[in-house]
Structure 1
Amino acid sequence: MTNTQAVQSLFRPFTLGKLSLSNRTVMAPMTRQKSPNGVPGSDVAAYYRRRAENGVGLIITEGTVINDADSSNQKDVPFFYGEEALNGWANVVSEVHDAGGKIAPQIWHMGARGNVNEYTEEEIAHIVQEFANSAASAKRLGFDGIELHGAHGYLIDQFFWAKTNQRTDRYGGSLIARTTFAAEVVKACREAVGPDFPIILRISQWKGIDYSAKLVETAEELKQFLEPLVNAGVDIFHCSTRRFWEPEFEGSDLNFAGWVKQLTGKPTITVGSVGLEGDVTTFFSAGSGSGNASLDGLIPKLENQEFDLVAIGRALLADPAWVSKIRDGRVEELIPFSPQSVQTLY
């Protein structure tokens, strides 16, 4: 495992406008289904507080759904609308801030219909407005930014992907046209929160139903895809991959986050089995856990400024103190990811 001196770059401060983080670590959003009737309780606040107390630079919450009939198809996923749910989130913010942390909700629509061709333009306008309403609520509650979930085959990503977007109007067709919905969501959220409130957009090539899927095949296509999103007002791109160490395109060692930063000049978050021995999806299919992996492959990329922030998912789910243990060199105390550790330490 990496020694304390070697990981110093992970613990440099990060500042973007009014967002100031004590270090480069990010808690990746992870669905938990622990909010009965969509309302996050005191246990949810305690869950996030534990990570803040242990030095996570920025917490991105589990996905929270907007006020739309199709937004959720899973039980006990938290809402980001309605007085009771928003009061619960206000308590989460208070606990995290009291512990010295920073936090952003991930705002989500699952796209329950399976594709986007059935939506009328009026329905799309309603969904865009509900994203904006949730963004405004996040700012009002005192969150430090928002993340829009535009990855993994959910609604925004269904508009991005040619296989799920066969529309013939302005929302479909070319790669650039397929970014129209996302750009409208980002613009509406920007109008709702003002110019200085951070907007993060999570994107991915892979989908939950197809790990080999590609939105783009080349760096030039990626540039075309990203430009409308930058123009709409994205501040940070959260670039989801299954394995952070894999190059995105042939002929370059840059991973997905590295390419997005190079093409846009915007800060990026890398993610994908950080701190785990291998690919996290393998652990679920095999029903097993993972040992703690060295960060040696990650740190040089961060030091070379290929990306700006590092999201940790399952390793931080299993061990709330993962960040502080890495910072202090207490690697022998790390709790490995396993179904048992997750149930114990949620």
Structure 2
Amino acid sequence: MTSQSMRYSVIIPHFNDADRLERLLLTIPVARRDLEVLVVDDCSPNQPALEVVKSRWSMVTWLSTPRNAGAGAARNIGLDHARGDRLLFSDSDDEFLPGAFERFDEHVGDEDDLVYFLADAVQEVDGSPSNRADRLNALCMEYHDDPSDRNLSQLRVGHVVPVAKVYSRVFIDKCGVRFEETPVSNDVVFNVLAAVQARHVRVQPVTVYRIHRRPKSLTSNPSPEAFLVRVGVKARLASALKALGIKDIPSATGWMVASFSYGPRTAFRTWWLCLTSDMRIDVFRVFQFGRWKNFVVGRQADRAEKKAAESSRGHR
């Protein structure tokens, strides 16, 4: 098979979660001759379990990071090996919905640099609805329903995960974006820098992907160390956007206020990082009641959902 005949490359980072990985693989049409699946294992300790999955999925390309370095490093290895005209990413604990790849065939054109699709989200423990895809879908639909420059900008800088999207590989190679190798938020810079440089961007209001909320995951890491990593990612993103001449630079205000909940040491480090970065300092945002109301309501809903997931897991 030549690289010209390969339409899709599906890149999946994996770490020590063979059962969920197999659940995902069952939702991908791996037998298609115009599709390749690249699973990049991040030096999982439980190699015997992974070997069992490998033995059942010989049509998958199995790769590995040279050392445990996180999902960002794994995705970069996948990018280096991808041959498809179109790039898709999936987390190993999520899944594609039935008919997803037929929807990609139908809606992704040769001229598209980046096409956004919709996702749904469920609590893994009981299948009940989760809010994890709500903001992503809202950004997509706001631009789809009103394709203004403002809504496009918000979509580009606000949709910071690589799933439920289809990228042109030629475009990604041309702009040279790669994932960071941070323990959390390693996909933010890739997604935003790719989006702001894409010339042909569309939203297809079709749900193709399912996100599973697990009781404990990297995305819900509440530690001060993880918080500071996330702030650092935003600071680097701000500098990169400024260098590209992008005006919609991330604001530091919310991070600065939120830092107080982690104690004085973390707050000091956060403020120093923000004040010495290219992030915007919007003092008046602190006094916008509606913005803080939405933030508090969203955070309370998120915490309630995580608590329910933990409780359900404890009673299983």
TM-score range, shorter chain: under 0.3
TM-score using structure 1 length: 0.26
Determine which structure has the larger helix proportion and give its number: 2
TM-score using structure 2 length: 0.27
